[in-house]
């Protein structure tokens, strides 16, 4: 494969632990760079429309972040088979995303030029990250890193022809797209002015909404200001994004501070471990769960103290009732299995994209998350999507009273339907078959962990160490139609 750079060699592999891309995964600066790159991606009309219609980044940002991180790890795995399998999965996922934006312009997530722009934003943001943190890349290193990003695009599209071959030509390409194609899209406005201000708490901090809201009220605007200040001036001017006084100094200080972590011993920072810890549920059997449970208790105490000392007026909602789950046993009592209201179930479970409506992208997001958890290949993945599509048709026929092609929260709450129709039963059966990888007719402990990322609990109907079809289908239907809390499906479909 041609590197497309001058002064670089093919001595070191473009993928794997020796790549520059891989080295950024555990770099705190990369978090700032990825936010910046995401805004530049969302500013492209095609990407912005696809995100607004299909993405779960508003309602389930932590889940989306974790899945993206895992995917990028796979795409830069040293094993070509791992990369090829992940590229095929991503291509199947993107092939299901097409439509039109609010101005009637068509978008297609498989558009090659658009996919090239996504990769371009990652490369340019990585270069900018190094420059802003006081560690600018020399030309050889920059050329080498550009070859890695072009190889990433080639792994997805079969070639990297949509990006210039030479890194010098790349900057002219990048400036042209910024000046001629980017817009102040709805997705950009959501990221900058809604997501940061209303970011839901990760599972670790879910028990302390007051404390989370207080911290978010300070950090959210700062992140927004830092991100806007780091964007290309041509785009800020084109999009009419105001730069707050002092934001440039704040942005440079943030990148410089994050860059100081390079002096920490190797291995001290592990982004994967951080994301896993943030997403742990309190009843997980992971060895870190006991620490997480203790941290949750501390967070609740701090949150209660904050409410006593500071009259907080944010819309945090009440502190959740204590769970009846016993940390040591995972046995869930009746208090922990309360029912959600119809409105709460609609918001937390059904409306996966967070736009206030239930439509096909929401159910497709559920299918996508389940297929990702189980790491499904064809044809199991297609069977799962088809089952969810049939369920959507059933829901639409029953609940879409005004005929606008989607179901509003009011339509859902007014009908208060029993969702356990034939199509939903079929979804449960297909999910069971996909989870039962050895086709034994029952889900064993390893298969259960693959889907739920936790071991069997005594509140499940387990026989001889397995979870049979009828019990699995019954529990799934109970969650989806009965709106029960504290089931294994909560962290799967309801958590942020």
Which two tokens mark 193? 């002015």
Task: State yes or no: pLDDT of 100 exceeds 90.
Answer: yes
Residues 223 and 92 in one domain: yes
**Across residues 475-488, what is the average pLDDT?**
79
Q: Is residue 300 part of a domain?
A: no
pLDDT at 443: 93
Could you tell me which residues come within 8 angstroms of residue 148 by beta carbon, excluding any fewer than 6 positions away? 14, 15, 19, 20, 21, 76
* Residue 35 DSSP one-character state: H
pLDDT 10s digits, 302-338:
656 666 665 544 444 444 433 333 333 333 333 345 6
Residues 349 and 487 in one domain: yes
Q: Are strands 357-358 and 467-468 parallel, antiparallel or unpaired?
A: unpaired
Cα–Cα distance for residue pair 170/177, rounded to 1 Å: 11
Rg of the chain taking only CA atoms, in angstroms: 23
pLDDT 10s digits, 9-40:
445 678 888 888 877 888 888 999 999 999 99
Residues 231 and 343 in one domain: no
Q: Is residue 298 part of a domain?
A: no
Of 176-190, 214-228, 357-371, which gets the smallest average pLDDT?
Answer: 214-228
pLDDT 10s digits, 428-451:
999 999 999 999 999 998 999 899
Q: By C-alpha distance, which of 200, 199, 192 is closest to 226? A: 192
Q: What percent of the chain has pLDDT over 70?
A: 81
Q: Is residue 311 part of a domain?
A: no
pLDDT at 81: 95
Domain that holds residue 98: 20-261
pLDDT 10s digits, 49-96:
999 999 998 889 988 888 998 898 899 899 999 999 999 999 999 999
Mean pLDDT of the chain: 83
* Domain CATH for 429: 1.10.238.10
Residues 72 and 216 in one domain: yes
Q: By C-alpha distance, which of 128, 16, 169 is closest to 80? A: 16
Of 164-178, 255-269, 282-296, 466-480, which gets the smallest average pLDDT?
Answer: 282-296
Q: Is residue 136 part of a domain?
A: yes
Q: How many domains does the chain have?
A: 2
Cα–Cα distance for residue pair 223/379, rounded to 1 Å: 42
Q: What percent of the chain has pLDDT over 90?
A: 51
Q: Is residue 173 part of a domain?
A: yes
**Most confidently modeled of 128-142, 406-420, 469-483?**
128-142
Task: State yes or no: pLDDT of 130 exceeds 60.
Answer: yes
pLDDT 10s digits, 216-261:
888 888 999 999 999 999 999 999 998 788 889 999 999 999 888 7
> CB count, 10 Å around CB of 264?
10
Cα–Cα distance for residue pair 440/338, rounded to 1 Å: 33
Q: Is residue 315 part of a domain?
A: no
Q: CA separation (Å) from 290 to 52, 286, 451, 480?
A: 38, 8, 21, 29
Residue 290 confidence class, pLDDT cut points 50, 70, 90: low
pLDDT at 166: 96
Asked which of 200, 235, 261 is the last residue of a domain, the reply is 261
């Amino acid at each position: 494969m041609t590197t497309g750079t001058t002064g670089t060699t093919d001595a070191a592999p473009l993928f794997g632990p020796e790549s520059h891309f891989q080295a950024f995964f555990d770099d705190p600066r990369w978090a700032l760079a990825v936010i910046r790159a995401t805004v530049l991606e969302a500013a492209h009309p095609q990407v912005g429309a696809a995100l607004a219609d299909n993405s779960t980044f508003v309602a389930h940002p932590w889940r989306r972040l974790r899945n993206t991180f895992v995917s990028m790890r796979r795409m830069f795995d040293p094993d070509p088979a791992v990369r090829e399998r992940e590229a095929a999965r991503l291509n199947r996922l993107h092939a299901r995303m097409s439509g039109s934006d609010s101005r009637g312009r068509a978008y297609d997530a498989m558009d090659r030029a658009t996919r090239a722009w996504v990769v371009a934003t990652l490369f340019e943001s990585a270069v900018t990250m190094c420059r802003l943190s006081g560690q600018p890349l020399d030309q050889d290193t920059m050329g080498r890193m550009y070859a890695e990003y072009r190889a990433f695009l080639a792994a997805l599209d079969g070639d990297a022809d949509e990006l210039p071959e030479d890194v010098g030509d790349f900057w002219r390409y990048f400036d042209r797209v910024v000046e001629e194609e980017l817009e102040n899209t709805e997705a950009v406005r959501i990221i900058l002015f809604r997501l940061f201000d209303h970011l839901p708490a990760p599972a670790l901090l879910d028990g302390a909404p007051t404390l989370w809201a207080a911290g978010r009220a300070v950090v959210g605007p700062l992140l927004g200001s830092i991100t806007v200040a780091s964007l290309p001036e041509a785009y800020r001017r084109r999009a009419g994004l105001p730069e707050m006084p002092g934001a440039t100094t704040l942005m440079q200080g943030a990148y410089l501070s994050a860059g100081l972590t390079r002096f920490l011993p190797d291995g001290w920072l592990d982004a994967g471990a951080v994301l896993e810890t943030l997403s742990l549920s309190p009843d997980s059997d992971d060895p870190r769960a006991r620490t997480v449970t203790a941290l949750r208790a501390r967070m609740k105490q701090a949150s209660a103290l904050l409410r006593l000392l500071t009259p907080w007026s944010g819309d945090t909602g009440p502190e959740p009732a204590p769970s009846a789950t016993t940390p040591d046993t995972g046995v869930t009592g009746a208090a922990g299995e309360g029912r959600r209201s119809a409105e709460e179930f609609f918001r937390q479970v059904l409306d996966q994209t967070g736009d206030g409506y239930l439509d096909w992208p929401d159910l497709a997001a559920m299918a996508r998350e389940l297929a990702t958890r189980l790491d499904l290949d064809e044809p199991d993945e297609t069977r799962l999507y088809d089952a969810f599509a049939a369920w959507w048709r059933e829901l639409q026929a029953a609940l879409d009273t005004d005929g606008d092609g989607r179901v509003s929260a009011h339509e859902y709450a007014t009908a208060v339907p029993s969702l356990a129709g034939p199509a939903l039963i079929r979804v449960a059966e297909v999910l069971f078959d996909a989870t039962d990888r050895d086709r034994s007719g029952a889900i064993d402990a390893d298969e259960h962990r693959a889907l739920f990322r936790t071991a069997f609990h005594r509140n499940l109907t387990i026989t001889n160490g397995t979870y049979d079809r009828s019990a699995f289908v019954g529990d799934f239907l109970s969650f989806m139609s009965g709106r029960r809390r504290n089931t294994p499906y909560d962290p799967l479909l309801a958590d942020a």
